[in-house]
Amino acid sequence: MIPRSLVFLFSFSIAISGWADDPIRNAIVKIHSSRRAPDFLRPWTKGPLRQSTGSGVIIEGKRILTNAHVVQYSSRLLVQGYQSTERIPARVVGIAPGMDLALLEVDDESFFENRDPLTLASGIPTLKETVNVYGYPIGGDQLSITEGIVSRIEFTSYFDLTRGLRIQIDAALNPGNSGGPALANGKIVGLVFSGIPSAENIGYLIPAEEIRLFLADLEDGTYRGKYKMLDEMQTVLNPALRRRLQLPSGTGGVMIHEPYQKEEDYPLQAWDVVTRIGDVPLDPEGNVQVEDNLRLSFQYLIPRFEKEGLLPLTILRDGKEMNVELPLVIEPDWLVRPLKGTYPPHFIFGPIVFSSASQDLLLTAGPRTKALLAARRNPLIRRRYDLADSGREELVVMGARMFPHPIHEGYDPQLFAVVDRVNDQPVKSLKHLVELIRAAEGKFITFHLAGQYETLVFPRQEMFDITESILEDEGIRYQYSKDLASAWEGNPEDKKGGGSETNGKD
């Protein structure tokens, strides 16, 4: 008779062997990241080093797919295979912050032995389809598998005004699940990228279709991004509006409320109605039939019909049908740009820290801060999605606080106030602000702030004189980021006042 203990050990070893041979589990990896994100309160330095984990999945070509936010700002990345204690160094070979996707490679290709890639599913999953989510969420070290159903499919905004298809599922997702795959019938239908902490069992996937577009863009080694249509549009449901637009009964579309460009050769004008994308008609809400029981915004079809940056559209203008080719954009020239993995530049003058505004700054600001900025009519809120032009290339903001010094006594805190003018000269960019300060003359220097903020007047020469002592008191090594060196140093004979002798090198 075999002892029960031996029977248990034999059964356990078989189970472990079965797990080790599971091709799905073997393709899931845990990602360890050492990262330093930007510090918007202290832009002259990086944020503290933080250790975090996420998930990833091995795909064709000995590559690992994960989320951009799992690996962005990482100084060191390690991947750990299923049922392994070894951590292998990895590097990012492609990243799409707007779609929250990233691709990793490892130098040690032996890591992929007995770890076969998983394949991407074709098409869009159906509503109520069952999916299994694999990953390494917080709460344990072992691989977690949860089950849910597809509850919603929509075309929506991701990040930085990048739009794409998104799948909502009802599986429980937690921090650490990010970058892990959701599978149906053994194929990847999507990649986990977020959940809603305040809601139970609601999570989101980046569909396989969007992953294919990302990988195709990366084939030449460079990710460029998704083409975008940025004209302001509205639906044509209202009966009076339809009569005004001379829309025939049964014709759908979207009305151009504000064209993206005002140039005469731009093919769209206000009051135009886009009725077709390629040969596909739009309904009165601007949607198109994609599959049975699934209608999505017509912009979902942009990758299908775009050729060399041009999109074929049929429009109705003053009751007459026209065919046009609309030029699309990949990276609009925003006043408030996304950082895309870079760090914000800075310039310190006296007790003031200046920096460039960014979408990332606004993403990290809490609801109370945004409400305060809106109440003070701060352009960070009002002009967040405005385009740059020759008069204003970017918004320049003051820091969250001024360094302690009697020179600013009596002034209120100027939390992320936008600098409009220096001595009545409009500020075009952070570099331009530095040049204006360097060239300033007279007894005083004045900073006019946009919105409901005070005007700040300082003794000009004293601001130059105290800068170096403030840097020393605060333990700040460099007065400015290295990209501003030429603007500040310039021609030494042109520079007014004392200023700091720091070289601005990082």
69 flagged as catalytic: yes
100 flagged as catalytic: yes
Of 178, 194, 297, 429, the active-site residue reads: 178
Of 32, 33, 74, 100, the active-site residue reads: 100
Of 32, 33, 55, 69, the active-site residue reads: 69
Q: How many residues comprise the chain?
A: 506
Cα–Cα separations (whole angstroms), residue 156 to 227, 279, 297, 300, 402: 14, 23, 9, 9, 39
Complete domains list, the chain, with CATH:
23-226 (2.40.10.120), 232-327 (2.30.42.10), 346-494 (3.20.190.20)
Q: How far apart are CA 329 and CA 223, in angstroms?
A: 14
pLDDT string in tens for the chain (506-residue length): 555 544 444 444 434 444 456 889 999 999 999 999 999 999 999 999 999 999 999 999 999 999 999 999 999 999 999 999 999 999 999 999 999 999 999 989 899 999 999 999 999 999 999 999 999 998 788 999 999 999 999 999 998 789 999 999 998 787 889 999 999 999 999 999 875 544 556 889 999 999 999 999 999 999 999 999 999 999 999 999 999 999 999 999 999 999 999 899 999 999 999 999 999 999 999 999 998 889 999 999 999 999 999 999 999 999 999 999 999 999 899 999 999 999 999 999 999 999 999 999 998 888 999 999 999 999 999 999 899 988 999 999 999 999 999 999 999 989 999 999 999 999 999 999 999 999 999 999 999 999 999 999 999 999 999 999 999 999 999 999 999 999 998 754 444 444 433 333 33
Secondary structure of 158-223 in the HEC alphabet? CCCCCEEEEEEECCCCCCCCCCCEEEECCEEEEEEEEECCCCCCCEEEEEHHHHHHHHHHHHHCCC
Q: How far apart are CA 218 and CA 99, in angstroms?
A: 13
Q: How far apart are CA 42 and CA 148, in angstroms?
A: 42
Q: Give the DSSP H or E segment for 132.
A: strand 130-135
Which residues make beta-bridge pairs with 235?
A: 254
